[in-house]
Structure 1
Amino acid sequence: MSAVADRDGATWFGQPRGLTILFLTQMWELFSYYGMRTLLVYYMTKQLLFAQDKASFIYGTYTAMAYLTPILGGAIADRWLGKRNAVVIGGSIMAIGHFVMAFEPMFYVALATIALGNGLFLPSLPSQINDLYAADDPRRGRAYNVYYVGLNVGGLLAPLVCGTLGELYGWHYGFGAAGVGMFLGLVIYLAGRRYLPPEPQRFVQPVATPRDVRRGHHKVWWLLLGVGIAATIFRGAYEQIGNTLPLWIDTGVDRAWLGFTIPMTWFQSLNPLLVISMTPLLLMAWRRRADAGRESSPATRMAIGALVVAAAYVLLATVTALAGGTRVDWLWVVAFFVILTLGELYILPTGLGLFAKLAPPRLGATTVASWFLAIFSGSLLAGLVGTLWSKASHPAFFLLLAGLATVAAALLWRLDRPIRSLP
């Protein structure tokens, strides 16, 4: 094993102990990110009194920038800081940004600060997962789904804690709780450093690379670009769950249940709750398929996920069309999230693992950052698509999102054979 912590063969939950440290750290980072994101659109439209299209565009731009800065941050981590230092510095900057959100005049400064810190933090943490395993370790392929479950615990807690504080006691209490979550993540990371993999060598003198190896690297980058374009289109639809979907839940969904009105932000906990509950079952099914020699390739799995997400939006289009302008029952929102989460589990952890697996030597953080570049462009696309919410009927808007996910699926299927041909 390449990890220092695993020389004695000890594991937690059947995985290297460092994986637990990494996903607990990311769990609290996701708690802070989703805690703030849960409140962001509501805060802009209800407190700052921004128009819906302006709030949607700012939301999309912010989430896009939070995933653009990792490109530079990943390069800085690989070349100069190292992954561990990048995580600590980036997390500290993000914690400061979350606390600054408590001050209305500093709104844009706070968003920029969080995005900058995320640039160092985000690519440097998951890029350490591969280094926990030997190249032939069969656990490595499923590690990203296990990691995805851990970080979604933070996504589950965030709307319940930050969203409830923001709705009931004031927006700034919710933003402050997000900052506390980021601080807890840093404490866990520093306390568990001995279980993490060693830093790869930096400042290495470049050596001549054989022409066929360079050609192979170029092919990898082109294929990753294609996957990134597909992921961009997909996220233009997927990211509406934090943008326009909350607006629909607020005004178009009957949230009454047993004399109690379900808070808007609680629905944002459905997605991570379903990730946590559905992932073990999905991993069991995939393992059985692998044992039977019928395991799907990464690109095929991602394409299936995009089609499932398209089906989720077709469901919303159908329900809103049949409702004819009246509020729909909140159980349809639950059904939507069940279908959408199933598709998400097929595509998002698989995409992250694919980028990490194909990373050239000593470029782990940079390559993983390239996956987050697709999230940047997809979030920006989602912001632009979100501006159409108030200009189109709800059924037409949801069908548009289904169409985007279907286009992404078609592109991923087209890339499947070239990816499988890689050594």
Structure 2
Amino acid sequence: MSNQSSGTLLGHPKGLFLLFGTELWERFSYYAMRAILVLYLTDKTINGGLGWSTQDALGLYGIYTGLVYITPLIGGWIADNFLGQRRSIIIGGVFMALGQFTLALPNSFIDPHAVTAFYAGLGLLIIGNGLFKPNISTMVGDLYKDGDNRRDGAFTIFYMGINLGALMAGIIAGSASTAYGWKAGFLTAGIGMLLSLVMQFIFAERLLGDIGKEPAAKRAAAMNKSGKKEPLTAQERDRLKVIMIMGLFVVIFWAGFEQAGGLMNIFSQHYTDRMIGSFEVPAAWFQSLNPFFVITLAPVIAALWVKMGPKEPSSPAKFAMGLFFLAIGFLCMIGAVTQQGGDITVKTSMFWLVGAYFFHTLGELCLSPIGLSMVTKLAPLRLASLMMGAWFGFNAVANYVAGIIGAHVGEAGPMAIFSGIAIAATVAGVLLLLCSNQLIRWMHGAEGQVIEDEVIEGNAVEA
């Protein structure tokens, strides 16, 4: 199988930047729709919304985002066994574009079936996302041979594309919705998805070669002398154990990180001094700090991993760093609560929030793109997309846990929650470092590290 046929750009295969652009516009589409979904649901029908209660809107939002993270399990399995990754992302992209344009249909076309059309649009988005999300990430890993130390840096660059799309989404969809109504926001999301598809249709053959064309299970069977599907080897089972164990630490990280959209968002709205002279910074602007920091820091982090070469930390060590950065970020939030001195009428400095988002983003860059890269290194070839889907499933659990944690702020208070997350993240990071040698053993040289008597010849690993 040919990997890429058009050389390199900035030290990486040019196919990486095609996948970067494809994911950028898909994530633009997703976040543009997500930015206005609850606002559309709760707006009065006379203004173009559905007039739902806040409770009902948030309930549907939770179900939708949960399904978005669960369906990649199914989409990954379908790609591995039947469609291949390239066909899966095209079909998934078409479903998502149809979903966005269904949401964008003018009410005069769909009344009195507005709610039915709305659910149909969401259903198309969920199905399409399940096919698209795990497979685009898996293809990034397929650009690199086993043992290539550029892979973690590649996923960091790829991750920058995700956040660039997210940063543009809120600004463009929000502006379109304000000027022309909610349907215009959904229309911009659909256009973004079409751009993602057009990039694949035009450039995929030249920049990706054969990558993603053949189902992984078929490729794996062809590599076996018998040509039959073989049971998992002991080495493969060990590597799957690493993915599952690391996934538990991912839940801890994201359960804390996702307070950004909930508890920290409320704190910025009610308890933060957002005045700069006579201008009051909108609380929603703080939500743009994370993608801004990702875009500015990701190239630096990616270059750092490549420059470190053989001294680059292992995935467990990077995950531990991510948890420690998360804890430092919540120390900033503890500082903000301390500044109040128990008086909730006191407004705290906005620099506490800026500091928290900065350290949380550093943690994210040490964990999220590294996790995507790690799955492509460790998952057996015939299960590559399925395991990527399972990895996103940990995010679904984390989002649910984050909601439970945030819901207890009224009983426990922000100090207890911020300090509790900081302590939990620190303990988890220490525990992960203590387990790191065993996890590296179970990786069987997938990242080049050798523990004790284990010998890895060159950079080859068993797929």
User: What's the TM-score bracket when you normalise by the shorter of the two chains?
Assistant: 0.7 to 0.9
1:2 corresponds in structure 2 to 2
For the aligned residues, what is the CA RMSD? 2.7
Secondary structure of 2:318 counterpart: helix
- The answer on whether the counterparts of 2:4 and 2:13 sit within 8 Å (CA) in structure 1 is no
- The answer on whether the counterparts of 1:316 and 1:336 sit within 8 Å (CA) in structure 2 is yes
Q: Does 1:303 align with 2:310?
A: no
Gaps of 5+ in 1: none
- The answer on whether the counterparts of 2:339 and 2:348 sit within 8 Å (CA) in structure 1 is no
Deviation sequence 1:46-72 (CA, Å, 0-9, x none): 6646346x6555444332221110000
Secondary structure of 2:267 counterpart: helix
2:380 corresponds in structure 1 to 360
Greater relative contact order: 1 or 2 (C-alpha under 8 angstroms, separation 6 or more)? 1
Q: Does 1:182 align with 2:201?
A: no
- The answer on whether the counterparts of 2:80 and 2:217 sit within 8 Å (CA) in structure 1 is no
Provide the C-alpha distance between the structure 2 equivalents of 1:264 and 1:188, rounded to a whole number of angstroms. 35
User: How high is the TM-score relative to the length of structure 1?
Assistant: 0.88
Gaps of 5+ in 2: 45-50, 108-113, 222-226, 445-463
Q: Does 1:249 align with 2:263?
A: no
- The answer on whether the counterparts of 1:226 and 1:415 sit within 8 Å (CA) in structure 2 is no
1:222 corresponds in structure 2 to 241
Instruction: For 1:239-388, list aligned pairs within 5 A.
Output: 239-290=258-309, 293-323=310-340, 324-325=343-344, 326-388=346-408
- The answer on whether the counterparts of 1:305 and 1:347 sit within 8 Å (CA) in structure 2 is yes
- The answer on whether the counterparts of 1:236 and 1:404 sit within 8 Å (CA) in structure 2 is no
Deviation sequence 1:377-412 (CA, Å, 0-9, x none): 212222333333454423233334334433542453
Secondary structure of 1:296 counterpart: coil
Provide the C-alpha distance between the structure 1 equivalents of 2:291 and 2:412, rounded to a whole number of angstroms. 29
With 315-324 and 185-194 compared, the bigger mean Cα shift is at 315-324
1:19 corresponds in structure 2 to 16
1:73 corresponds in structure 2 to 75
Distance apart, 1:278 and its partner CA = 1.1
- The answer on whether the counterparts of 2:151 and 2:373 sit within 8 Å (CA) in structure 1 is no
Secondary structure of 1:363 counterpart: helix
With 146-155 and 238-247 compared, the bigger mean Cα shift is at 238-247
- The answer on whether the counterparts of 2:153 and 2:306 sit within 8 Å (CA) in structure 1 is no
Would the alpha carbon gap of residues 60 and 401 (structure 1) be closer, same or farther in structure 2, given more than 3 Å must change?
farther
2:25 corresponds in structure 1 to 28
Larger Rg: 2
Instruction: For 1:94-113, list aligned pairs within 5 A.
Output: 94-102=96-104, 105=115, 106-113=117-124
Structure 1 vs Structure 2: percent identity of aligned residues? 34
Instruction: For 1:23-102, list aligned pairs within 5 A.
Output: 23-43=20-40, 48=51, 50-51=53-54, 57-102=59-104
**AA paired with 1:176?**
L
Secondary structure of 2:5 counterpart: helix
Provide the C-alpha distance between the structure 1 equivalents of 2:74 and 2:229, rounded to a whole number of angstroms. 25
Provide the C-alpha distance between the structure 1 equivalents of 2:202 and 2:282, rounded to a whole number of angstroms. 36
**AA paired with 2:397?**
S
Distance apart, 1:418 and its partner CA = 2.1
Provide the C-alpha distance between the structure 2 equivalents of 1:244 and 1:101, rounded to a whole number of angstroms. 29
